[in-house]
Structure 1
């Protein structure tokens, strides 16, 4: 029961990131939000990892090349694309596109590692793709042919592609989840610093900006990761992964509560995406590749599945 509560709260915090960041990018740049998010979260995450997981830091740091690659993909790349997208599309649309991540990861795993999926898995992938297309085209599928898509939604597609690549690599990392995440966050803060200086990154100048950044640092960056990893101590990773579907639900609830109605197309797209994820993740489990890959995927689900929104 406690683990379930932790998972629900973690997904709620990640959902809030879509809403809060959409408001914040009206006056702050994606680089402002990305740099300060990781710069302010780095030390607290390192402390959390040290006291919760008690990792062998030398063993963790020996994997610095892959941690650097993961940081560029998952921390810098994904977050910049996400915040850039939220400047041009709604939080609801962004969360719906993000919900297609599990199906995309299955496809990338088939292409990159030789994994295979079942017929139900393919059906789930197709349903998820159809749901995303409905959201992207606002129900006018002919817009795909004319390429008249919103730049924000295209950036969001780029974000989930980057996250899919991150996930494929992170599945085989084999390091304590919070420690690996904390090191990646610290690397992101350091590597983004020169770019932040060159682009004159700034701290929040208004109370609204300060509260937005505070939420992003405390809840989706610190609280969600801690709760997610505490839950994984007693919850199978597959079960935990299904809770990620709540991100769309919570985003929809918050959006409606704030006075923005959902469209029929968004509702239909969301139903198709979630149905596709369930088919892909529950009954459409991937089969082993024809040639076994070296070593089992040993990292925890927080590295393998959590969206780091």
Structure 2
């Protein structure tokens, strides 16, 4: 597929108004809306998932989610990315590890957590993820960790503790952590492992990688359901609608929209949009009539500020790269 610069080379000078980075303004606008759609659907996974786990157990929900999403993911991967399946198969140990950490481990812990805590609380704890990934990359990938990034990680962690404690940090010493919060912290750790592993893995087209990981997740969970005597199918129209939403929007469309946007926008800039998952979750739960405590908003704001502070070096690199002359 032609790059953006190559595609524009054939146009007369001045035919398309350009912005920094060489992308047409229209494509950048479409990319921004794609990121907004992807994060909105991922936020919907928290909100809809919180209701779904009361009708479908987490093991069945994860199995059904990826079983339904598998076919469209494979079709889109073949049509859009046209992967070399021999090369994909050669990366099977990495794809297996990624599936166990991401599509299985993260989602199982998330849905188990949603049985014990609300969607907004879970999304606030999840917002700490980019800061933890920065820390893990410094430890395991030897990436440089600046003092500003360390300050951001500490700030984001403080925000998470405020959320978990409900604004009373002293309560943690006596009452400890809630079950849902502990499970959600576990989900964040598992996703961090997924991200670090993904940076070390051989390059596989992203939608293709997701499709293969979905197939692995379904294959690994199928014997578990056979051993326990079957899986819990949606018993009501509402439960079926929740499953279909989770299987189509956050499982397929979010990945397609996100990866489409990355063909136009740099990864560092796109990563900022992940903080909108928490914002959208807050809006959706408020629209659903849920009442949130002040500690959640204060802690969430501190987490987001800490994550932004952690990623300041990446933003600076992005701005510097955009100013470099292009050959």
Query: With structure 2 as the length reference, what TM-score do the two structures score?
Result: 0.85
Q: In structure 2, the residue corresponding to 1:171 is in which secondary structure?
A: helix
Number of the residue aligned with 1:186: 215
2:99 to 65, 71, 74: 71
Aligned to 2:192: 164
Matches within 5 A, 1:146-165: 146=174, 148-165=176-193
Among candidates 250, 256, 270, match of residue 220 of structure 1: 250
> Are the structure 2 counterparts of residues 191 and 83 from structure 1 closer, same or farther at C-alpha, using a change threshold of 3 Å?
same
Match in the other structure for 1:230:
260
- Which residue among 8, 12, 26 is the counterpart of 2:54? 26
Are residues 1:131 and 2:155 paired?
no
Give the superposed CA RMSD: 1.5
C-alpha separation between the residues in 1 aligned to 2:158 and 2:300?
Answer: 10
In structure 2, distance between residues paired with 1:99 and 1:35: 25
The equivalent of 1:271 in structure 2 is: 301
Whole-Å separation in 1 of the counterparts to 2:80 and 2:265 = 17
How is 1:233-248 mapped onto 2 (pairs within 5 angstroms)? 233-248=263-278
SS class of match (2:200): coil
Give distance in 1, aligned partners of 2:133 and 2:174: 27
Q: Equivalents in 2 of 1:197, 1:281: separation in Å?
A: 45
Rg larger in 1 or in 2?
Answer: 2
SS of 2:187's equivalent in the other structure is helix
Structure 1: gaps of 5 or more residues = 288-309
> Aligned-pair distance for 1:175?
1.4
Question: Cα distance, 1:281 vs. partner?
Answer: 1.3
Q: CA deviation at 1:172?
A: 2.7
* Aligned partner (choices 86, 93, 106) of residue 121 of structure 2: 93
TM-score by length of 1: 0.90
> Would you say how many aligned residue pairs link Structure 1 and Structure 2?
287
Retained in 1: the 8 A contact 2:124–2:278? yes
Q: Pick the aligned partner of 1:117 from 122, 145, 149.
A: 145
SS at match of 1:11: helix
Residue 284 of structure 1, CA deviation: 6.6
- Structure 2, unmatched stretches of 5+, are 1-28, 318-327
* Distance apart, 1:78 and its partner CA: 0.7
Contact 1:6 1:231 in 2 (8 A): yes
Which range is displaced more, 128-137 or 101-110? 101-110
